[in-house]
Amino acid sequence: MWSVLWAAVRSKAPYVTFPVAFVVGLVGYNLERFLRGDPPPAAEDEKSISEQREERKLQEIAGKDLTKVVSLKEKLEFAPRAVLNRNRPEKS
């Protein structure tokens, strides 16, 4: 008798487990939504990373005088020292 019962349960298992899993998932989804509260604002309102970077750079240079820069003659880090030291007199 047990073998017949287990065979029936085994054959009807998908018809039983799907509704149970559906109900458990639905309850869990609504419980999590209730506990977390409102969802965050839509992605349309947020700025992209590149826009945020551009705004930050503009704010950084807003108070600086961009006309005062170091001349290339004084700034020699753009090339390796071995190349420049051959033809350049030593600075005092």
Q: Is the pTM of this model over 0.75?
A: no
Q: Which residue has the higher pLDDT, 44 or 60?
A: 60
With cut-offs at 50, 70 and 90, classify the pLDDT of residue 37: confident
With cut-offs at 50, 70 and 90, classify the pLDDT of residue 62: confident
51-79 burial: b if 16+ Cβ within 10 Å, else e = eeeeeeeeeeeeeeeeeeeeeeeeeeeee
- Write the Ramachandran bin of 37: left for phi over 0, alpha for psi from -120 to 50, otherwise beta: left
Chain-centroid distance of CA 22 in Å reads 32
Predicted confidence at residue 83, as pLDDT, reads 59
Predicted confidence at residue 22, as pLDDT, reads 95
Instruction: Kindly report the average pLDDT of the chain as a whole number.
Output: 80
